[in-house]
Copies of this chain bind each other. A is one copy, B any other.
């Protein structure tokens, strides 16, 4: 039975971290909310899990994964669940925890990216919080973005199995997620991100190598990869790039 990924159908958003893992592993999955309502898919099928009182463990928000009777929400928890099943994490508890810790730090960075264009309220338009966004984005570009990338650079540098991967000597979901973070940052803050990547060459190299992974490359070139856009988390508002 294929995995069911439930996420908003027109953006990469947080769902993209799950899509990348499923795609890199060549897993059988359905991107439910992008399917046809006539086939029991579409956004209504997704909202069912969030709104029906019959669901014992309702997700707080998309993305969530449905695997038979198991429903898992929260991006990092989904990857914790999928990692061993897709062969995208090491076998020891310590490796799994470290990979998860990296993922949680990527999630923190993603939340901060979201708040560069929505520092006041997700329910308001960007234009209704633009002065605040300009201030917050400056702080993000100048302090936070370099801090996150520097940390991942030191993680790669200190990996005793080499700096091609964040954990051990093989691709993990954390590598895929760092690729996605960097890819999104390059879209949203091209100037600031290129500047930061000049000082974090291992992170830049990992971004390149994941993009060339056979199945990832095929996915990125397919129509399954939704383009970055200004409804997602990574938005190109040039004024926020300084």
Q: Which residues of A contact B (CB under 8 A)?
A: 53, 55-60, 70, 72-74, 76-77, 80-81, 94, 97-98, 100-101, 104-105, 108, 111, 115, 119-121, 123-124, 129, 132, 135-136, 139, 143, 148, 151, 154-155, 158-160
Given the interface pairs A77-B97, A94-B70, the reply to whether A60 lies near B105 with Cβ below 8 Å is: yes
Known: A58-B158, A119-B132. 16 other contacts (CB 8 A): A57-B158, A59-B101, A70-B94, A70-B97, A72-B97, A73-B105, A77-B97, A77-B101, A77-B104, A81-B97, A115-B119, A120-B135, A123-B143, A129-B135, A132-B132, A132-B135
A74-B101, A97-B77 known; A139-B121 Cβ under 8 A: yes
Complexed CA–CA distance, A55 and B119 (Å): 34
Nearest-neighbour CB distance to chain B for A203, whole angstroms, equals 14
- Asked if B151 and A136 sit within 8 Å, CB to CB, the answer is no
Q: Which residues of B contact A77 (CB under 8 A)?
A: 97, 100-101, 104
Query: Which residues in B have their C-beta under 8 angstroms from that of A151?
Result: 58, 60
CA distance A175 to B135 in the complex (A): 37
Interface contact A136-B123, CB-CB below 8 Å: no
Contact, CB under 8 Å: A121 / B105: no
- Copies of the polypeptide in the assembly: 2
A118 to chain B, nearest CB (A): 10
Q: In the A-B complex, list the 8 residue pairs whose CB atoms are closest, starting with the nearest.
A: A121-B139, A74-B104, A77-B101, A60-B105, A120-B135, A74-B101, A132-B132, A120-B136
A139 to B124, CA, bound (A): 10
Instruction: Out of B56, B80, B155, name the residue touching A100 (CB < 8 Å).
Output: B80
Chain B residues with Cβ below 8 Å from A154 are 53, 58
Q: Inside 8 A of A81's CB, which chain B residues have their CB?
A: 97
Find chain B residues with CB under 8 A from A101 CB. 57, 59, 72-74, 77
Nearest CB of B to A109, in Å: 9
Residues in B neighbouring A136, C-beta threshold 8 A? 119-121
Q: Which single member of B76, B98, B120, B155 contacts A139 (CB below 8 Å)?
A: B120
Q: How far is the CA of A115 from the CA of B59 in the complex (A)?
A: 23
Q: Decide if B76 touches A158 in the complex (CB within 8 Å).
A: no
A139 to B119, CA, bound (A): 11
The distance from the CB of A106 to the nearest CB of chain B, in whole angstroms, is 10
